[in-house]
Homo-oligomer: A and B are copies of this chain.
Amino acid sequence: MSDLSDLKVQVCAANNALRTEQLVTLTWGNVSGINAERDRVVIKPSGVDYDALTPGNMVVVDLDGNVIEGNLRPSSDTPTHVLLYKAFNTIGGITHTHSPYATMFAQARIDLPCFGTTHADHFDGPVPVTRPLTAEEVERAYEAETGTVIIDCFRDLGLNPDAVPGVLVAGHAPFAWGPTAMVSVHNAVALEACARMALGTMQLNADAMLLEDYVLNKHHQRKHGPNAYYGQTKK
A residues contacting B by CB (< 8 A) are 25-26, 28, 45-48, 72-73, 76, 98, 100-101, 103-110, 115-118, 132-133, 135, 138-139, 142, 171-173, 186, 189-190, 193, 196-205, 208-209, 211-212, 214-215, 218, 222, 229-232
Q: Which residue of B lies closest to A185 (CB)?
A: B26
CB pair B109 A205 closer than 8 Å = yes
A204 CA to B104 CA in the complex, in Å? 8
CB pair B28 A118 closer than 8 Å = yes
Given contacts A76-B230, A118-B173, 13 further A-B contacts (CB under 8 A): A46-B231, A100-B193, A103-B116, A105-B204, A107-B116, A107-B208, A108-B115, A133-B212, A139-B214, A171-B212, A171-B215, A172-B215, A199-B200
Cβ of A211: which chain B residues have Cβ within 8 Å of it?
107, 171
Cβ of A186: which chain B residues have Cβ within 8 Å of it?
26
Cβ of A98: which chain B residues have Cβ within 8 Å of it?
117-118, 193
A100 CA to B218 CA in the complex, in Å? 22
